[in-house]
Structure 1
Amino acid sequence: MIVLRAGDKITVVKGDERYREGETIDLFEASYLVYSGRAKAIDEKGEELGVKELFMRYASGDLWWIYFTVFTDLASRGRRIRRGYGDRSIIVEHEGEKYMVYVTEEGARVPLITLLSWIESSQHKDMIPVIAVVDMYGDVTYYQAMSISLKKLQL
């Protein structure tokens, strides 16, 4: 079992073939490892921390639960995941393809210009843009996004 120390950062105390001792890992990855039973997180006093305690200590804002939901869903499907380029983005690698996933929740208002610039940014990075929508039950639906150009016709 992997052992994580939750101090100023989350570091690996006892690792395995993927996680090396002394390595610093992301909150969402650490939380997923604890959630899935692959790791145990301890604080400076040696007390064990659960997923809720990790988020109470390290998460900022109210977006963390939908981000964690998408992260967990993708990780449980065996996808390689890392944090993206913003607080709503996850990078996924699967079968030789790279995807940039925009995380949002059902009913959230996202300005069209935000989505269009995010799609363009994804495509410039040679990634497939995908929107992940988390509903009120914690179910995730994925949509592949694309931009199109409309031209005015003279008829």
Structure 2
Amino acid sequence: MINTAALLFRGLVVGVALLALGGCAATYRNSGYVPSEADLAEITVGIDDRSSVEDQVGRPVSQGVIADRAWYFVGTRWEYFAYRAPQPIDRQVVAISFDEGGTVQNIERFSLADGEVISLNRRVTDSNIEGVSLIRQLLGNIGNFDAGNFLN
């Protein structure tokens, strides 16, 4: 005779095991936009200008800071795995630079392997008193007094 409670328990164990295994699989997400090689091949350096580039590949989200001399298309593929922070596994950057007249000057493609990690803002204040004892600080102030400060 088949025990229904045992079958229910086995089914529950198998279901939890499948959920646990499914939760351990990495998931991926793409963000941003990078034009394809075919789209970039239609842009002619020295001939096309901003408006024709916009018609062929669209406008980017990022532009050059100084005088709109470059357009940057950035696309990133992120890996999400369990409890860890998302990791970029692929990043493509296409830079289209323009001359003063707005004509395409250069088209470059960079990947995550080409990049360097740059600390844009560390928000760390270095203490200049490390390794200086209290007595040395007090003795360092001798002679730095101004008599005008005592008169007020």
Q: Which structure shows the bigger proportion of residues in strand conformation? A: 1
Alignment TM-score, normalising by the size of structure 2:
0.23
**Structure with larger Rg:** 2
TM-score by length of 1: 0.23
